[in-house]
Structure 1
Amino acid sequence: MIWTVKSPATKKVIGTLDETPLERAEDLYDNANKAFLTWSGLSISERVHFLQKLRLSIVEQLDDIVKVIHDSTGKVAVEALTTEVMTVVDSISHIEKRAAAALKTRKVKTPITFIGKSSYIEYKPRGTVLVISPWNFPFQLSMIPIVEALVAGNAVILKPSEITPMVGVLIEQLFEQAGFPAGLLQVAHGGKELGAALVKGKPDFIHFTGSVRTGKIIQAEAAKQLIPTLLELGGKDPMIVCADANMERAVQGAIWGAFTNSGQVCMSVERVYVDKSIYQKFVDRLVQETQALKQGIAADSDIGSMTFPQQTAIIKAHVKDALEKGAELIAGDHPDQWKDGQMFIEPMILTKVDHGMAIMQEETFGPVLPVMPFETEEEAIALANDTRFGLNASVWTADLDRGKRIVSRLISGNAVINDVIITVANPYLPYGGAKEGGIGAYHGDVGMQNFCVQTAVMVDKGHKKKEVNWYPYEGKYEAFVKLIRSFWGEKRDWGQFLSAYKKLLKIGNKK
């Protein structure tokens, strides 16, 4: 079937493509498995060379890539450039620098009780990795897991979101231009039925970014075959503003953290808790600065359109639920004033909210910012942790020790002090969530390593006939008791330890 793809912002046709038939899933895995045999045999430096060519190709085509992302998502050009393309080239650059060290065979210590042996960890590619990526950051959230999987030696099948398929077409073209082997990176276009077929095709690893609901479905299906998964799911990220915070920076951070990409960010600021003593002043500045933002598709616009039409229904439901329960809308249009099919949603600020409202509990994923006062640090921490999510959080204070103390008590995979969202853009940090924020982590050294089978190896030279813990056991119990007490007891006694060890050797070597 031929898809005709339109821009969510302009409604203009931006491209066409062929949907991938479900029956092709088996062929995709056959192609990937063949490519894997050759690719996995290359050295890390040889794989990195391909990634370097990819990075340079991306940099040469910045404007064209930004246009595809902008047309596909409705996000403004600056955000397409900085949050998508720049993040990807920085991540590839990081991989070029760190892959050899992160993936090399690593020696580790061996306990003295295994005297004469050595130990190491070897990182081996898993095979074929299935990457299922979302529509909100279709370039970044596809490319980073792809390049991490590839440098680790895997083949990849990408199923991009059917909402932004032209970005998937772009990605496939970029890999072809960079000269990657045929079949190593394949892009399959389709909806949830294709996703289900690919999961049932038994990949060696699944990397999924998307909703909690879909993540649970994938996890359940993968569990049937014990396929390892990495899930990056939802968020309802809190922002705690202390009385001593830099007011202007906190206001600007809240606005950008809540409204960048029209709030369609899993790490968006979705709840703001402000110390009661500065609450009203903070809210007044928040409204003033929010109303100054420019919305549209012009080069100088601050906020673009929504990407997925159905998401507006969720936003509308959350806002109306809050208003019906006593919340006050102090910036933005009332949802009842929205037109059918409206994709440009004015940034909204809500006050008089509480945790009995969906807007404070469920992921809204839109340009809505609820603000709530708190009286004590304990209350702020309790409110921030009162969620089924745990992806990201931020704390704003002039006292960095206080900020670190609060962060240490937040149940969150990521946290920032006096800033928002940015941990995902630091390629040296692992990125993953707690609770329903996700399972596992990528980025950093651990990201490349998670796309590997990690084999723990111990080596003995094979000169001795037996080990002290082998048969026969006769006469060994008391010697082992002496060995354990002398080595792990309150005070280490090397004389007793060596005496016990020699006795065990003597008993073991008896004919």
Structure 2
Amino acid sequence: MEALEVMNPISGDTIGFVNTTPLHTTTLMYDQARKAFNIWQNKSIKERLHYISKLKHTIVEQLEEGIDIIHQDAGKPKVEAITADLFTVLDTIAYLEKHAEKTLKIQKAKTPIALIGKKSYTSYHPRGVVLVISPWNYPFQLAMNPVINALLAGNCVILKPSEVTPLVGQWMESLFEQAGFPEHVIQVAHGGKELGAKLVSEKPDYIFFTGSDRTGKMIQQEAAKHLIPTSLELGGKDPMIVFQDAHFDRAVRGALWGSLTNYGQVCMSVERIYVEKKIYESFILELKNELQKLKTEPSDDADLGSMTFENQLQVVQNHVTSAVSKGAKIFSGNRSTLHEQKGMRIEPVILTNVNHEMEAIQEETFGPVINVIPFENEAEVIQLANDTRYGLSASVWSKDLNKAKRVAGRLAAGSVVVNDVIITIANPYLPFGGIKDSGIGRYHAQVGLQIFCHQKSIMVDRGIKKSEVNWFPYEGKLPHFKNFITSWYGKRKNVIKFLSSYFQLLRKSK
């Protein structure tokens, strides 16, 4: 059996190995999941919640261990491990404990006047076996949240966590075991892209993928061959728009955190900062000043961690090198530090004199690179912000909330924050997802459970009448149907004429 090497991205040292899942076992995994589904789907929401709540308590009991594992495996500061990965999962479970039963219960629906006498409702039913493929940047949160929702909706799940952060994947597997989930209801498959492709080819009933738009499109193409529904949470190139009337210090600190939290390895990272010209020079000076205050040496209080995936270092280097060759200026940082890192820790870079012809502005960098661009007016900055193939999230900064909301409404993004950054994904009451190349579908909130279900529309008639007005024979019915429509939907509603037409149709249907 092959093993995944676990490297601490901060030190560069090997800290362990995790056994991979053999490719030939994937068919068996699906067979086991489908058998387990026959039992799991018949459990009530309350019964499923029992396991989810036990999982929550298990996570809390192992909080210190979880912080250390995420810190060592992903190279992120411990504060970010607990706030962005662990807390958000626990908060999602708390939301589901409160709202899951209501969200998935039978929903009554109105019945139109033409179908009088019938009742309508919608019911939710699990899809079957859900495949969740999760990324390395938030290896706990972006795996656990879709898995928990899928399980609670009544599905069995096969999770393939990222091979870049295998310790977190191994820990998640252990958490589900300790929470006592029935055998094969949740299975974890460890391995790389070959395993991911094999799992997709096994025709799951639903695919939830978080990762690059390139891989997402490949999965979508494969899923389309068998009409497998998917949710794709992909990349971003998020703009931050700072108007001159914004709270200056807050905007600077928000820009710094939004650009460098998790070392810039966030699909919602602030990757393009647009600053109104009147405050542009003072903004970049203060941004540089605040950057220099950050604690970078490894400790429990460190502000910055490291890159997580070695291949991403090359992307960061290419974007910076290309931008500089086309006229960009390194306002803070040193290009040479991209080559002189210990482990995967590199110095953050602030780029100025950048434009929309550069990769650093058009393509997802996913690293500690801060691009700052001046703008003249509202119309210009909206055009610049929307000039990208991505559309995940954005932020608008201004004390004039009417203006901020107006601009937010015109931005091509799945979510927008006013006077803050990134936080929409942390609100379990809000649906999350992108447009354009940033993905397909939404999760979190009510839709986060409902996407993992078939929606079944049901109408009920008591079955007392011999016939319906729209059934055969049609003889003599056309004039009455015309009166039926004109009296009810015409400019002037005529209830008496409508009822007369309806009763005439009833007589002809006896």
Aligned to 1:26: 27
Distance, in Å, in 2 between the alignment partners of 1:181 and 1:296 is 44
Distance, in Å, in 2 between the alignment partners of 1:297 and 1:478 is 83
Aligned to 2:203: 202
1:438-485, CA deviations, whole angstroms, 9 ceiling, x for partnerless residues?
Answer: 100111011001100010111111111111111222222222221111
Aligned to 1:307: 308
Aligned to 1:275: 276
Which letter does structure 2 place at the counterpart of 1:148? N
Distance, in Å, in 2 between the alignment partners of 1:184 and 1:154 is 8
Aligned to 1:257: 258
TM-score by length of 2: 0.98
Within 5 A, what are the aligned runs for 1:31-70? 31-70=32-71
Aligned to 1:471: 472
The SS at the match of 1:415 is strand
Which letter does structure 2 place at the counterpart of 1:503? Q
Which letter does structure 1 place at the counterpart of 2:134? S
Distance, in Å, in 1 between the alignment partners of 2:474 and 2:355 is 66
Aligned to 2:372: 371
Which letter does structure 2 place at the counterpart of 1:150? L
Distance, in Å, in 2 between the alignment partners of 1:137 and 1:336 is 25
Distance, in Å, in 2 between the alignment partners of 1:340 and 1:9 is 10
Aligned to 2:238: 237
Which letter does structure 1 place at the counterpart of 2:354? V
Give the conservation status (yes or no) of the 8 Å contact 2:10–2:342.
no
Which letter does structure 2 place at the counterpart of 1:231? L
> Structure 1 residues 290-299 or 70-79, which shifts more?
290-299
1:142-179, CA deviations, whole angstroms, 9 ceiling, x for partnerless residues?
Answer: 00000000100000000011111111110010011111
Shift of 1:337: 5.6
Aligned to 2:217: 216
Q: Which runs of 5+ in 2 are unaligned?
A: none
Q: Does 2:118 align with 1:117? A: yes
Distance, in Å, in 2 between the alignment partners of 1:14 and 1:337 is 24
Distance, in Å, in 2 between the alignment partners of 1:71 and 1:329 is 31
The SS at the match of 2:414 is coil
Give the conservation status (yes or no) of the 8 Å contact 2:267–2:366.
yes
1:17-60, CA deviations, whole angstroms, 9 ceiling, x for partnerless residues?
Answer: 21111111101101111111111111101111111111011111
Aligned to 1:322: 323
Which letter does structure 2 place at the counterpart of 1:70? H
Aligned to 1:406: 407
Distance, in Å, in 1 between the alignment partners of 2:205 and 2:168 is 25
How many pairs does the alignment contain? 509
Aligned to 2:147: 146
Give the conservation status (yes or no) of the 8 Å contact 2:272–2:372.
yes
> Structure 1 residues 500-509 or 352-361, which shifts more?
500-509
Distance, in Å, in 2 between the alignment partners of 1:216 and 1:230 is 11
Which letter does structure 1 place at the counterpart of 2:500? S
Which 4+ residue blocks in structure 1 deviate beyond 4 angstroms? none
Shift of 1:189: 0.9
Task: State the identity %.
Answer: 56
Q: Does 2:120 align with 1:85? A: no
> Structure 1 residues 216-225 or 466-475, which shifts more?
466-475
Shift of 1:335: 4.4
Distance, in Å, in 2 between the alignment partners of 1:26 and 1:467 is 49
Which letter does structure 2 place at the counterpart of 1:18? N
Give the conservation status (yes or no) of the 8 Å contact 1:165–1:189.
yes
Distance, in Å, in 1 between the alignment partners of 2:5 and 2:246 is 49
Distance, in Å, in 2 between the alignment partners of 1:104 and 1:420 is 34
Distance, in Å, in 1 between the alignment partners of 2:260 and 2:3 is 34
1:369-395, CA deviations, whole angstroms, 9 ceiling, x for partnerless residues?
Answer: 101111110111111111100000000
Distance, in Å, in 2 between the alignment partners of 1:337 and 1:449 is 44
Give the conservation status (yes or no) of the 8 Å contact 1:74–1:297.
no
Shift of 1:340: 7.0
Shift of 1:420: 0.3
Aligned to 2:387: 386
Aligned to 1:333: 334
Distance, in Å, in 2 between the alignment partners of 1:441 and 1:14 is 36
Which letter does structure 1 place at the counterpart of 2:22? P
Compared CA separation, residues 435 and 475, structure 1 to 2 (3 A):
same
Distance, in Å, in 1 between the alignment partners of 2:343 and 2:333 is 14
The SS at the match of 2:390 is coil
Shift of 1:339: 2.6
TM-score by length of 1: 0.98
The SS at the match of 2:437 is helix
Distance, in Å, in 1 between the alignment partners of 2:179 and 2:26 is 25
Aligned-residue CA RMSD (Å)? 1.1
Distance, in Å, in 2 between the alignment partners of 1:296 and 1:102 is 46
The SS at the match of 1:231 is strand
Shift of 1:248: 0.5
Aligned to 2:443: 442
